Structure 1
């Protein structure tokens, strides 16, 4: 199985320090939907692991989050692709869960769901927390410069981190 794991906000869609709270605020980054569809059509399984502490903070509810994910699936399907498992952490940063990145609970859940080892699987994110979660389970950390990526690039990165302009550039690399 060719598995690719993506963070959501800042990788697939624009991010906001004020949170993505509505379907209207969930706006794909140019090229991201097409990149997911191209990878899917080429036999890649695309999973998503996303921190969604806005749920714990009461900024939006689970139904709203599910509407955003349904829109993601719809847009990718319109391009002939498919999005696999989407897992989210609903907890706030101080709740001590094992799923919230930089912990690796969501990545382990994806591995269990697909019955695969994570060693070498690319995990694409835009934050230090994404890269740290990847490192904890021996995924290949991949940083995109979209979202918080430029800020993250200014910090020390885990050894071996790959850096790309955006998700479209990641797809181009994987498909060459």
Structure 2
């Protein structure tokens, strides 16, 4: 017989990851500020979880960033953006702009993954006893599943994920011609 502790803690899976791969010159501080401003304008709490600066190689330095932005939708559901940034072969370059101000830019390769996850009962309020466990099962099976299947939450968070993706692409001054999943099945663009 299943008990209330056997009920899964995670919510329903949200849309897939978005990836950015870029090779060139970018301003890391501008990328950081643009992503944070976008998320804070939408009431997300932002945390920089990990910053790793690996030993330089002859090709350049390697850095890893893991950022997390979370928002408590209500007492039951929490949505989290996990942003993984990895820079390869990076060199810091000092550049003077048109006004004569000195800026530090980064030249190299960058890989960004934007993942969207949801968790149910993040405060663990429904894990106190069997009654609350059954209440949790009812809530998951009848109230929240219906809301998610109707598309109430899914559409909003997919839009915010795509918006963050576009903000980061604009900051990197990179463009995509169309939606990234359009050619996933093996159809290629002909020039």
**Which interval holds the TM-score relative to the shorter structure?**
under 0.3
Q: TM-score, normalised by structure 1?
A: 0.27
Which has the larger strand fraction? 2
